[in-house]
Chains A and B, each alone.
Chain A
Amino acid sequence: MAGGTSSSIMETFFQRNLEDLIKGLRLQLIGESAFISKALDEIRREVKSTDPHTKSNAIHKLSYLASLHFHDMSWAAFHVVEVMSSSRFAHKRIGYQAASLSFHDDTPVLLLITNQLRKDLTSTNEFEVSLALECLSRISTTDLARDLTPEIFTLLSTTKLFVRRKAIGVALRVFAKYPDAVRVCFKRLVENLESPDQQILSAVVGVFCELASNDPGSYLPLAPEFYRILIDSKNNWVLIKVLKIFAKLAPLEPRLAKRVVEPICEHMRRTGAKSLMFECVRTVVSSFSEYESAVKLAVVKIRELLVDDDPNLKYLGLRGLSIVTLKHSWAVLENKEVVIKSLSDADPNIKLESLRLVMAMVSESNVVEISRVLVNYSLKSDPEFCNEILGSILSTCSRNVYEIIVDFDWYVSLLGEMSRIPHCQKGDEIENQLIDIGMRVNDVRPELVQVARDLLIDPALLGNPFLHRILSAAAWVSGEYVEFSRNPFELMEALLQPRTSLLPPSIRAVYIHSAFKVLVFCLHSFILQKGHFTSSCPDNLVPGISALALKREMPESSDLITCEAPPTHGEQDEGFNPRVSNQSCEDLSVEHDGDRTISHGQTSMHDSSEKNSFTYESIVNLINVVELALDPLTGSHDVEVLERARNVLCFIELIKAELPECLVQKETSVDSEDVKAFKIIELMSDAFSEELGPVSVSAQERVPLPEGLILKENLDDLETICGEVQVPPSNLFSFGSPYGEEKGVFFSDLHSKEESEPSTEATSLLTEHRKRHGLYYLPSEKNEILANDYPPANDSKWKNNLNNDTEDLVKLTAQSLVSNKKPNHAKPRPVVVKLDDGDVGSISAKRPEAKDDLLSGAVREVLLGSDVIPTSQSNESNKSFGKRKGKEKLNMEPSTELKENLGDSEKPDLEKPRSRRSKHRTHGKDRRHKSPENINEEREENGLRGKQKSSHRHARHKARQRADALLTVVSQTPVIPDFLL
């Protein structure tokens, strides 16, 4: 006995208190975590002590460690409750503090504290009450809120202002947890709005501001009270909160806005407090933007903020401006210089905000200039902000499927330029856009290929990992749209240059596959060109037709001659000296340039000269280059690279055998073309020429559900997730026509432009590079036994999708064409493929919030009068409440509707406006005893609302009536009388 007591005494005297703990923590030599775990062990022991002093001290230390060193203290929950129930204030305080720190909805011991809280809430010591209230404001659960509602109700009108303030604050949490508490406490809360005490007023207005921010509609009936405060109050805190409330209420009630806007402007003019002034500005520009004079005044005030030296004010000025911009773009234009100047501010937030504003100014007409300014600016700024700028240019320009871009040639070259900015880390986005534009905008492809070529050909870019994704897109574009390339041979060399070994395998695979496409294109063009010459077609025939003709001839003639591989091919190939072929390749490009300058506008002439460029030597050289580059990759460890490389090599094997024969027989006859190689090339070319289009976001949804597939019935939760994912409004698909039909056009487009200066530079770079690493370019001979046919390496999934939707897509293309507004520009905007899909938007639109519904429903009932409200006798009635509230939430109609379904639910002639009108009047009268000066206003509002909304409402009546019927059956007597009426 004596031993036990003395040990507790010893503990008391020798226990380390919090101060010791903190000092020890600062001086410890064993490491912080070791020290803390030692301290925690101590606490675990001490907390079990029978001495309340020791126990509370332990809890005190524990809560310190939990709050600043983030150690779990849930294990001590029961001890916290013990300390809370101590009769000594100091202990109690520690206990309450610990509870509000560590308890949450799932803490099991919460059930034990209800009585303790009740006791402390009714204590005569106001500080004990305030402890309990503070705790309740942070940990209150539904159960606690329900059980303690009567105590809160009492405290809401206590004469001790110190406590009443806190009780008002607690009401917020209680309402949120237990909406039915509104029926008990709401009236008292409202009464506090008339309190002369500024602190009380501040607290209650704060609570209403919080409530109204979730569901403003329910609090419209209180507008007269708030109006009075707005006029009378001199307290800036209160005024700010009231302004917040009006910012929410005004959009719902035009008449209210009209009355309120003048006092707000008055405050704006008069006040010396920047916070209040800014709040007025924000209220005006966000909720009263249709009041021209008020907005003008607000913009003047914003300007004052913008030119202020305080970065906080400047930032807020920019914020304000960005809100105004949504409706009044003139405001930004007026302050343009300040905004642009802020781009170079020292404060990163100010820079970001002004960037956002600059982007908000962007339109079709100025996008080129603004982007130019910003890109120049990004070159000068730090990496982080540079990428911020690039990111916002990219997102602004791509908004709504490149809505503001008229000159896509410009935009594509801008993308190329952005890729070269040293700090650029927006590879992913640029990659997406390059491919996206390629697929959507037919007319821009020549320029796109040119940009891609410029990127690919620069060996320096391969060293920057941030650019790899862009290069991947460039490689894909140049392979997919190789027909627009000015010099496929050059492209091939760029794709196969030695430095591609720096790329990650996945991107390297794209390079190889693009090289494959380029190769097939060259071979195919070579054949076509040969057919062009050898066939008897006249020269002025467009190549497309000759191609068709060729195709027609093929099946007939193919039967006649079955081709064998010529035995001599090995010798033939050996005959080609690498230097000679290199030479020819360079000659070729020179020749090109010459051709181009000569044959401007003369397309037919030009075509033939272009065709000439695919000489037999150049083709063989091309094949050699490819073989040489890809051969080492057959040993690659990456499956994708290996596979792609093998595809190409085997294809070469397949055709190589017969290629020399083509040359030999070139002059003899047309029939000689019917060798197997031609067929293979034809096949591959066809496979690659299938156009790839963008895939609709909703493509998956259009696939019919297979029979027998059982999906989970309720997918609501999934829908909310998907709704967020499917935000982009853009919808996509492909062109109906494969490019084969348009072949005749592209060559002529192509050469209308001069070769640009940097590209020749790049070419020479490449040549030099090639010379230096000459050994990589030596041709070599490989005579492997060739494998069988490969299926086209195209992705079949894409094609399937396209085929399924082709009809839809064509239709939709036509639609988007029609709806496309063309601005008056020198250059017509090319067609951008997109489609409007309604269902995507609607998915993300609705978002149910059950709790708020309950709360706002309860508030409306209390405010607007009703006589059939049960509190919470049965679960059944609660449930039906919930359902009904849900319905009301849908049409944000606060007063009249509610009165109908609650007050008039027994009347059969609900839908007649007269009954509704009379109800208003009684409502107005009822209010009179409370605040007579507001009746007129109130009635006006109600009447107006009734008129406005009556038309919408009829459709919903039936459903609601049914719910009401159910309700009246369940509930008989009003338990809580209506305080307001």
Chain B
Amino acid sequence: MIRAVMVMNTQGKARLAKFYDFQDSRLVYKHYATLYFVLVFDSSENELAMLDLIQVFVETLDKCFKNVCELDLVFNYSKVFNDEFSLNPILTGEKIHTILDEIIFGGQVLETSSTEVMKAVEEISRLETASNSITLVPKAVSGWRNR
């Protein structure tokens, strides 16, 4: 299984770290511009397949952010997917985590098609915005009224 996924920049600063299990064994990484994508895994994964998986991950990020760069990852936590709701601060989706969770689930490779991943991520974003837009207005209004 996959033990951990890490993304760090060339200075060694972590931009993403996700652990599925706390034993390490083998490791592959791929270097894109200022970022290193690292996968830690054990003997039940194939090294080249893991490299491909990094490729899938980066491809998906690329589709999501239109030419992904380090700053996208830094701000991924607050990057808003649907621009029309961008005024609402709660619309943050942990973009990278969402993407990663669709690709790797509990250390198992779940989805290797970036289009499928994108579909799910879009769906989740829509759901989030929907759940917020419904309740935000009444709440704000009632708040002001009480005042």
Residues on A with beta carbons closer than 8 Å to the beta carbon of B147: 2, 5-6, 9
Tell me which residues from 894 to 933 in chain A have a Cβ below 8 Å from any Cβ of chain B.
none
Contact across chains for A97 and B97 when beta carbons are under 8 A apart: yes
Given A8-B143, A203-B108: A240 in contact with B120 (beta carbons within 8 A): no
Asked if B108 contacts A172 (CB within 8 A), the reply is yes
Query: 1/0 per residue A827-842: CB within 8 Å of B?
Result: 0000000000000000
What residues on B are CB-neighbors of A127 within 8 Å? 123-124, 127
Tier of interface size on chain A: 35 or more
**B77–A19 CB distance below 8 A:** yes
> Does A26 make an interface contact (CB < 8 A)?
yes
Cα A237 to Cα B135 in complex, Å, equals 43
Instruction: Check if A57 sits within 8 Å of B90, measured CB to CB.
Output: yes
Known A89-B131, A275-B49, A316-B47; contact A199-B89, beta-carbon cutoff 8 A: no
Contact indicator A19/B78 (Cβ below 8 Å): yes
Interface membership of chain A positions 264-290, coded 1 if the CB is closer than 8 angstroms to chain B and 0 otherwise: 000000000111001100000000000
A169 within 8 A of B: yes
Interface 9-residue window, one of A206-214, A383-391, A452-460, A761-769: A206-214
Q: A134 with B108: in contact, given A67-B17, A90-B132 (CB under 8 Å)?
A: no
The answer to whether B44 touches A213 (Cβ under 8 A) is yes
The reply to whether A17 and B110 form a contact with Cβ atoms under 8 Å apart is no
| Contact, CB under 8 Å: B90 / A97 | no
Using CB atoms, name the residue of chain B closest to A101.
B18
Which residues on A sit within 8 Å (CB–CB) of B107? 137
**What CA separation (Å) do A279 and B74 show in the bound complex?**
36
Cβ of B78 and Cβ of A88 under 8 Å apart? Answer: no
Instruction: For B92, give its contact among A1, A18, A173 (CB under 8 Å).
Output: A18
Contacts of B139 in A (CB 8 A): 53
- The interface residues of chain A lying within 8 Å CB-to-CB of B51 are 275, 312
A residues in contact with B43, CB < 8 Å: 213
B33 in the interface (beta carbon within 8 A): no
Is the pair B110, A68 in contact by a Cβ cutoff of 8 Å? no
Closest residue of A by beta carbon distance from B75: A22
Interface residues on B, range: 35 or more
Contact, CB under 8 Å: B146 / A6: yes
The answer to whether A17 and B89 touch across the interface, beta carbons within 8 angstroms, is yes
A736 → B minimal CB distance (Å): 48
Distance from B51 Cβ to chain A, minimum over Cβ atoms (Å):
7
**Closest chain B residue to A16 by CB distance?**
B89
Question: For window 1-52 of chain A, which residues contact chain B by CB distance below 8 Å?
Answer: 1-2, 5-6, 8-9, 12, 15, 17-19, 22, 26
A22-B78, A68-B17 known; A5+B89 contact, CB < 8 A: no
Binary interface encoding of chain B residues 94-113 relative to chain A, with 1 for a CB under 8 A from any of its CBs, else 0: 10010001000111111110
The distance from the CB of A709 to the nearest CB of chain B, in whole angstroms, is: 39
Q: Which of B44, B46, B129 contacts A278 (CB 8 A)?
A: B46
Given A89-B131, A169-B108, A312:B48 Cβ within 8 A: yes
Residues 221-243 (chain A) with a chain B CB within 8 angstroms: 236-237, 240-241
Q: Does A56 contact B (CB under 8 A)?
A: yes
A-chain residues with CB within 8 Å of residue B140 when the two chains form the complex:
9
How far in angstroms is the closest Cβ of chain B from A199?
6
Chain B CB within 10 Å, residue with most, of A64, A206, A316: A206
A206–B44 alpha-carbon span in the complex (Å):
9
- Most interface-central of A60, A91, A165, A275 (chain B CB within 10 A): A275
Q: Which residues of A contact B123 (CB under 8 A)?
A: 127
Q: Is B52 an interface residue (CB 8 A)?
A: yes
Is A202 an interface residue, CB under 8 A from the partner? yes
What residues of B have a CB within 8 angstroms of the CB of A237 in the complex?
A: 49, 109, 112
Knowing A172-B106, A278-B46, A312-B47 touch, does A53 contact B143 (C-beta < 8 A)?
no
Whether B65 sits at the interface, judged by CB under 8 Å, is no
Complex Cα–Cα for A68 and B111 (A): 25
Chain B residue, CB-CB nearest to A6: B147
CA distance A8 to B139 in the complex (A): 11
Known: A64-B77, A127-B123, A316-B47. A206 touches B109 (CB 8 A): yes
Contact B77 A18 (CB under 8 A): yes
A469 at interface, CB cutoff 8 A: no
15 further A-B pairs in the complex, CB-CB below 8 A; given A166-B110, A275-B48: A6-B143, A6-B146, A22-B74, A67-B18, A89-B131, A90-B90, A90-B128, A90-B132, A172-B1, A199-B110, A202-B112, A207-B108, A279-B49, A312-B48, A312-B51
Q: Which residues of A contact B (CB under 8 A)?
A: 1-2, 5-6, 8-9, 12, 15, 17-19, 22, 26, 53, 56-57, 60, 64, 67-68, 88-91, 93-94, 97, 125, 127, 133-134, 137-138, 162, 165-166, 169-170, 172-173, 199, 202-203, 206-207, 209-210, 213, 236-237, 240-241, 244, 273-275, 278-279, 312-313, 316
B-side residues, CB < 8 A to A, are 1, 14-18, 20, 43-44, 46-49, 51-52, 74-75, 77-78, 89-94, 97, 101, 105-112, 116, 120, 123-124, 127-132, 135, 139-140, 143-144, 146-147
17 pairs of residues in contact across A and B, judged by CB atoms under 8 Å: A1-B146, A6-B146, A8-B143, A17-B92, A93-B124, A94-B94, A127-B124, A127-B127, A134-B105, A137-B107, A138-B106, A162-B120, A165-B111, A169-B110, A199-B116, A210-B108, A237-B49
